[in-house]
Amino acid sequence: MSSLEVSEDLVDVKPVSKNLHSCQSFLLMVNHVRPHPSPPQNFNCENSTIENFSCKDCNFVTKLTLVFKQHVQECHSLKTEKVQHCNPIRTYICRKCTFETNFSMKWLRHTTRCTKKSPPTYNCDQCDCKYKSKWYLKQHKILKHLNDGEIFWHRCSQCPYKTYLNSNLKKHINSQHLDAGDIKWYECEKCPHKTKEKGDLKKHINARHLNDEDIKWYKCKHCPYKSKRNYQLRSHINAHHLQEQDIKWYKCGQCSFKTKHNHNLKNHINAWHLDESNIKWYECKQCPHKAKTNSDLKKHVNAKHLDDENIKWHQCDRCPFKTKRKSSLNVHLNAYHLEEEKIKWYKCEKCPFKAKVNYSLKKHINARHLDDDAIWHECQKCSFKTKHKSSLRSHVNAHHLNERDAKWYECNKCSFKSKHESSLHKHLKGHN
């Protein structure tokens, strides 16, 4: 191989292993002997180590022939006219523990000696689901295979809330019905953060106060993504790396809505299918505003109550555009600054329509392809309803908010302002 460094006086010399070694490295002898010429000169076997393969075109070094060949093919094959076939490297993993290796013989030797037992699996007798613990299997049966009347519910004595777990009821009472002086707070020792749940404090410390080398990262095997929380990694894999038939969908039992994320389903149910008295409201501490999701409340606080110096702006590096939301910046980049072949298109399965924003595709499907199953967004203060959530927000902003709380679209060239963004666009045309 041209990329392997070989001394000129060793070319065309066959390796010889007879009467060559006094070291005890029998298991590594095959690879250990291979580089030795005959007669041996200037070679020391005291370390009993495998010889390294060094690439002459870069600083790459490895002890594995297969890894070296793959490196040459991937990094330096463009220099040659003909690319030779290179078999992919196989990884052998023990099913009983975390051991893995590239050598089948090492794997075989390990598996014959590994004393760890394979973790038991608990199968549901009514469906194909499998779980690693009896507790998870029990929760699965309660949620999926029992009728509402057969479940033993733990009910709150102060509101309609109910749950099948007593621990959830305790958390609910602690978070919703205790006076501020009676709440047991878990406080962070390094910052003013405090929470009502011990598990949330651990998550906070892991996310905010650990050094990078001390953090336990959960890394994706398919891409560079990594997370500090295991459930976020599972959600990432389910959303981005599974085949269509293997994706775990979270489906609403009251409409056709489905999502790849469990929290999105909870937010959907809380926003569209709960009675007014059962909705979990997230209330702003600085004004009467309340939201149905915690993320919407954070967006409100960031937009209405933070000073400019405290706002974390996400700035586009290609134009003056900036936004308070990272997701909005990603949408902007995909819509305006990516090359045509790199754009991520969201395509309709029923017609040639495609969009650069997933939300636009959802609006299209709801408006054009859903009849009886269409999702209607209804105003809570009048009979207005629409298929577009943005239209509902514009309606509420224009007709039901007072002057102080309304969102105004202001002209930067004169004193004109309007509650309708379209009206501002029409006005700006007059200046041009």
Instruction: Name the residue with higher pLDDT: 102 or 240.
Output: 240
> Do 144 and 138 meet the contact criterion of CB atoms below 8 Å apart?
no
End-to-end CA distance of the chain: 68
- pTM for this entry: 0.42
Comparing 85-89, 137-141, 170-174, 389-393, the range with the smallest average pLDDT is 85-89
User: What pLDDT, on a 0 to 100 scale, did the predictor assign at position 418?
Assistant: 86
Q: What 3-state class would DSSP assign to 89?
A: coil
What the chain holds in terms of domains, given with CATH numbers, is: 8-79 (no CATH), 376-432 (3.30.160)
62 class by beta-carbon count within 10 Å (0-12 exposed, 13-18 middle, 19+ buried): middle
420: pLDDT strictly greater than 60: yes
Comparing 35-44, 314-323, 393-402, 409-418, the range with the smallest average pLDDT is 35-44
User: What pLDDT, on a 0 to 100 scale, did the predictor assign at position 78?
Assistant: 56
Comparing 185-199, 267-281, 344-358, 392-406, the range with the smallest average pLDDT is 267-281
Tell me the mean pLDDT in the region 64-81. 69
Q: What gap in Å lies between CA 18 and CA 36, rounded to an integer?
A: 11
H or E stretch including 315? strand 314-315
89 class by beta-carbon count within 10 Å (0-12 exposed, 13-18 middle, 19+ buried): exposed
User: What are residue 100's phi and psi, to 5 degrees?
Assistant: -150, 150
- The closest of 274, 262, 263 to 296, measured between CA atoms, is 263
Per-residue b/e over 153-162, b at no fewer than 16 CB within 10 Å?
A: ebeeeeeebe
Q: Radius of gyration (Cα) for the chain, nearest Å? A: 31
Residue located via tokens 């514009």: 394
H or E stretch including 53? strand 53-54
Q: Which residues pair with 401 in a beta bridge?
A: none
User: What pLDDT, on a 0 to 100 scale, did the predictor assign at position 67?
Assistant: 76
200: pLDDT strictly greater than 80: yes
Q: Which residues contact 224 (CB under 8 A, 6 or more apart)?
A: none
- For the segment 286-297, what is each residue's pLDDT rounded down to a tens digit? 888 888 888 788
Which pair of tokens denotes residue 239? 């959303």
**Using 50, 70 and 90 to split pLDDT, how confident is the model at 88?**
low
Q: What gap in Å lies between CA 384 and CA 157, rounded to an integer?
A: 37
Q: Which residues contact 349 (CB under 8 A, 6 or more apart)?
A: none
Q: What gap in Å lies between CA 378 and CA 389, rounded to an integer?
A: 9
**Using 50, 70 and 90 to split pLDDT, how confident is the model at 25?**
very low
Residue located via tokens 């969201």: 346
Q: What gap in Å lies between CA 27 and CA 262, rounded to an integer?
A: 51
